């Protein structure tokens, strides 16, 4: 059976779900002298996330991380469904789709590492940044040419919105 080209899935996407570390960040953590963990997030990813929210898409974050600064940043972009401390991502995912009546086939999920694997196996369009681990690349229907924290989220959001005629330009 021939595998569909990932572009055939773009018209059906209504929901974006992203991991944080390694997807919306570059995997680096700066540790301050007080023990605070600082992350680097891309403003172009932020623009695309906010644009998707404003265009009426469901946008959610599922991360095992618990950084309050990350939560504040994402909420400032208009993302209401920010799930931090989600060590069992598939459980949080199932709760989210049930509560919001979302079909997994209409979801684009971007992850980069082992904790993302179970969710990526059940969504319509599993995607990953260029620097994801090999196992995640192996199940992704699209591998961005961008690394995590360097525009990978913008890449997939822009592609979906352009195909659906909802992008800015």
- Model confidence over 24-77: pLDDT tens digits? 999 999 999 999 889 999 999 999 999 999 999 999 999 999 999 999 999 999
In a domain, 98, yes or no: yes
**pLDDT of res. 89:** 98
Alpha helices in 59-120, H assignment, sequence order: 68-76, 89-100, 117-120
Give the pLDDT confidence of 152-168 residue by residue, as tens digits. Answer: 999 999 999 999 999 98
168 assigned to some structural domain: no
List, as residue ranges, the binding site.
19, 21, 112
CATH number at residue 66: 3.40.50.1000
Domain count, the chain: 1
Tokens of residue 73, six digits: 């940043």
123 within a domain of the structure (yes/no) = yes
- Whether the pTM exceeds 0.85: the reply is yes
- Residue scoring higher pLDDT (38 or 2): 38
Tell me the three state secondary structure of residue 142: strand
Nearest to 158 by CA among 67, 48, 75, 55: 48
Residue list, annotated binding site for substrate: 21
Please report the pLDDT score of residue 113 as a whole number.
98
Q: H or E stretch including 158? A: helix 152-163
Structure tokens at 141: 């229907």
31 falls within a domain: yes
Residue 138 pLDDT: 98
Q: Which residues are annotated as a binding site for Mg(2+)?
A: 19, 112
By 3-state DSSP, what share of the chain in percent is helix, strand and coil, each rounded to 5?
40, 15, 45
Question: What was the pLDDT predicted at 70?
Answer: 95
Domain assignment present for residue 1? The answer is no
For residue 97 the two structure tokens come to: 């789709």
Answer whether residue 133 is part of any domain: yes
Instruction: Tell me if 169 is assigned to some domain.
Output: no
H helices of the chain, in order, are 43-54, 68-76, 89-100, 117-120, 134-139, 152-163
The reported pLDDT for the residue numbered 1 is: 39
- The answer, yes or no, to whether residue 110 has pLDDT greater than 50, is yes
pLDDT at 165: 97
Q: Are 83 and 96 in contact (CB under 8 A)?
A: yes
Please report whether residue 84 resides in a domain.
yes
pLDDT for 112-163, tens place per residue?
Answer: 999 999 999 999 999 999 999 999 999 999 999 999 999 999 999 999 999 9
In which domain, by residue range, is 110 found? Answer: 6-163
Residue 2 reports pLDDT greater than 90: no
């Amino acid at each position: 059976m021939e595998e569909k080209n990932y572009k055939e899935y773009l018209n059906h996407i209504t929901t974006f779900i992203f991991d944080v570390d390694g997807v919306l960040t570059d995997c680096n953590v700066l540790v301050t002298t007080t023990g605070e963990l600082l992350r680097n997030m891309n403003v172009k990813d932020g623009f695309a996330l906010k644009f998707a929210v404003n265009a009426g898409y469901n946008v959610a974050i599922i991360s095992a991380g618990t950084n309050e600064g990350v939560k504040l940043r994402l909420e400032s972009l208009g993302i209401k469904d920010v799930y931090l401390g989600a060590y069992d991502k598939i459980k949080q995912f199932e709760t989210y789709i049930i509560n919001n009546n979302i079909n997994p086939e209409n979801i684009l999920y971007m992850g980069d590492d082992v904790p993302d694997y179970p969710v990526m196996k059940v969504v319509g369009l599993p995607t990953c940044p260029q620097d994801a681990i090999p196992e995640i690349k192996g199940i992704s229907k699209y591998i961005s040419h961008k690394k995590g924290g360097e525009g990978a989220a913008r890449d997939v959001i822009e592609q979906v919105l352009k195909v659906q005629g909802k992008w800015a330009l």
